[in-house]
Amino acid sequence: MLKEGDQAPDFVLPDENGEPVRLSDFRGRWVVLYFYPKDNTSGCTKEAIEFRDLHEQFAARNAVILGVSKDGQKSHQNFKSKYGLSFKLLSDESTEVQQTYGVWQEKSMYGRKFMGTVRSTFLIDDEGLIRKVWPKVKVTGHAQDVLKTLETIA
């Protein structure tokens, strides 16, 4: 997994509308890049809602929120619409970006091993440097923790 102080690898992924989003287009702004396993699951929904509810406070700190999962654009459209999400959801169906960031890892559930997304967040500064990493995120209060960190270091 990438670490604090690393340059955030650039990427281009389609958003929920199929529009290409390039990380480097956000230079000059802070980026909350959060990776999550799946649209419309309980933990992922709670996390998205927490980020949605704090969206204006992030924007006031010159920060943009980008959610990334393996789900396709149609799933993202439905998820975004259903919960009134105010930020872009990016589709990484190939998992290439998740692999680059080190969040596509072997997981285990009920004794079965499989590859999947480890819920993780990267706070990237206005020059493209990773300033904080949250690996294996616990959902409750996470968005507030990211905001507090942004307020402290931005």
Is 154's pLDDT higher than 90?
no
Q: What percent of the chain has pLDDT over 70?
A: 100
Q: Is residue 35 part of a domain?
A: yes
Domain count within the chain: 1
Give the chain's mean pLDDT: 97
Tell me the catalytic residues: 44
Task: Give the tokens for residue 107.
Answer: 């997981």
Q: Is residue 5 part of a domain?
A: no
Q: Is residue 16 part of a domain?
A: yes
Q: Is residue 146 part of a domain?
A: yes
Q: What is the CATH number of the domain that holds 51?
A: 3.40.30.10
pLDDT score of 120: 98
Is 97's pLDDT higher than 90?
yes
37-63 pLDDT, tens digit per residue, is 999 999 999 999 999 999 999 999 999
60-73 pLDDT, tens digit per residue, is 999 999 999 999 99
Q: What is the pTM of this model?
A: 0.97
Q: Is residue 66 part of a domain?
A: yes
Alpha carbons 7 and 30: distance in angstroms, whole number? 13
Q: Is residue 2 part of a domain?
A: no
* Domain containing residue 106: 12-153
User: Which of these, 3, 5, 7, 1, lies nearest to 24 by C-alpha position?
Assistant: 7
Q: Is residue 4 part of a domain?
A: no
Which helix or strand (DSSP H or E) is residue 63 part of?
Answer: strand 63-69
pLDDT score of 1: 85
Q: What percent of the chain has pLDDT over 90?
A: 97
148 secondary structure, DSSP code: H
